[in-house]
Amino acid sequence: MSRVFISYRHVKPDDDLASFLEKHLSSKGHQVFIDNQILIGTKWVEEIERQIRAAEHFVVLLSKDSIRSDMVRQEVKLAHELMRQHQLTILPIRVAFFGELPLDLASLLNPIQYALWEQGAPFETIGAQILAAIERATALPISGKSNEEEASVAGMQSLFEATEAVGAPLPQADPRLVPRLELETGTIKLDSPFYIRRQSDDEMLQQVSRIGTTTVVKGPRQMGKSSLLARAMAAVQQNQQKALYLDFQFVDSDQLTNLDSLLRYLCRKFARAFKTATKPDEFWDNSLGAKDNLTDFIEEAILAETPSPIWVLFDEADRVFNFPYRDDFFATLRGWHNLRAIREHWRRFNLVIAHSTEPYLWIQDINQSPFNVGYPIRLTDFNFDQVAELNLKHGTPLKTSDEIQQLLILLGGQPFLVRLALYLLATNRWSLAELQNLMTDDFGPFGDHLRRFVWGLQRNPALKESLRQILRHQKCDDEMHFLRLRAVGLIKGEARDAVAMRCQLYEQYFKNHL
């Protein structure tokens, strides 16, 4: 006999499915709790927590209605904490729901395999699946641990351990869940089924739940910075907090002429985003500097009038690196960070800055970038489980775990390259060998990505020579060059005397071009 807790929302068909599961599992000898069993006069919040802590299995019904329930979310959060302590297993059921989960639920549940009930299907089928999972004490694959010691959860294996280690075949995609394939080359849409969550998503979610934070998202191009900021913005809005999101790629060149024009532009964007009663032109005092004007406007027109936290999210901030006033601009952002310590209003001010590390190819002094304050989020490459998940979403063009491992070695888990490779394999019905034959062509599928690096290196002959040294001797004599090439994502390694190209693709391509 097992103790089972069922989490759901009192709507149709969730209610009916929960009642069926309660009766079905009870008839097989299991002790099942659903919240309609709570007696009048009981402190129901305490009873819910007691029942979850006593359970060995936590079944959660995920529907378009339940994912908006604060109670369901709290129950899932507690269950996830207990799962990490090896006290229960979580068995998610999607109830006629195929969409993306909210950021907080997704960070907890996306790594866990789920069952699917489709509209009109008999409850008996899903009941049999859940019963089988409980009676076999089945724990479903989980990935995305935050550190090494969590990599072994009792009864749970990563997909790599469950396939590669024992020679088992990869799971096959359910054709009902493989959507129409599309190539997403920029920011991944919020409802995209192809978005893969990483540790950075969990870190961003934690930052969004706090007050008075500065967060710096950094990484090479095409690693998913803008997609992460889009999800941070969605989480802020879900918390019903006000925010300004600004992508510097959309700022007209005229607004970037000098520091005064940029800060005046930002003041107008602040006024529009936060719908201030005070107008920037009325507030601006030409006898003061632009930095003082904008800072005072934020404090007096926004923070003093808004009791809840506010958020400012700057994407592609590295565009400002190209202008001589960059130090003054980023010093302003750092000044806002420091104001939290001395002005109460600023303690509700939250700042997120995303920038590419690619400018390190041509900025001579990387210390000019002012991003040494706040909480850093560094985007990481996909691991085996994440590539396997994306492969499944594309209809499994890679048929074995060996092929997944080969693709990881070829591309180093670089998110954009992996997505592009799987899209090409799936839509063109290529073999992995056919893709390899085209990989290093200047006008092949990865040509644009690779040529951009060559263009950057041509502008810095000394850095180019250091990359040649790495290709020939796996070492780099210049410490600054080593740090810059690693920051831009071309190389990997912890020491200058033991360094390698990031992946086979880069090694083969640059051996041909350098």
Percent of the chain at pLDDT exceeding 70: 85
Percent of the chain at pLDDT exceeding 90: 43
Q: What pLDDT score was predicted for residue 239?
A: 87
Q: What pLDDT score was predicted for residue 94?
A: 93
Helix (H) or strand (E) holding 367: none
- Per mean pLDDT, which range of 188-197, 265-274, 416-425 is the poorest? 188-197
Q: What pLDDT score was predicted for residue 359?
A: 53
Residue 40 structure tokens: 């009048």
**Residue 500's beta-bridge partner residues?**
492
Q: What pLDDT score was predicted for residue 290?
A: 93
Q: Are 126 and 111 in contact (CB under 8 A)?
A: no
Instruction: Output the CA torsion 392→395→401→403 (10° steps).
Output: -130
pLDDT of residue 172 exceeding 60: no
pLDDT of residue 137 exceeding 80: no
pLDDT in tens, 278-295: 999 889 998 889 999 999
Mean local confidence (pLDDT), 233-262: 91
Residue 285 structure tokens: 């005092």
Q: Are 57 and 134 in contact (CB under 8 A)?
A: yes
Q: CA-to-CA distance for 494 and 278, rounded, in angstroms?
A: 52
- Per mean pLDDT, which range of 104-108, 125-129, 224-228, 245-249 is the poorest? 104-108
Count the Cβ atoms, other than its own, within 10 Å of residue 209. 11
Mean local confidence (pLDDT), 328-350: 91
**Which of 24, 25, 49 is closest to 35 using CA atoms?**
49
pLDDT in tens, 214-230: 999 988 888 889 899 99
pLDDT of residue 171 exceeding 70: no
Mean local confidence (pLDDT), 14-43: 85
Q: What pLDDT score was predicted for residue 309?
A: 94
pLDDT in tens, 483-502: 888 888 899 988 888 899 99
- The structural domains of the chain, ordered by start, are 3-140 (3.40.50.10140), 199-378 (3.40.50.300), 448-513 (no CATH)
Q: What is the mean pLDDT of the chain?
A: 83
pLDDT of residue 366 exceeding 50: no
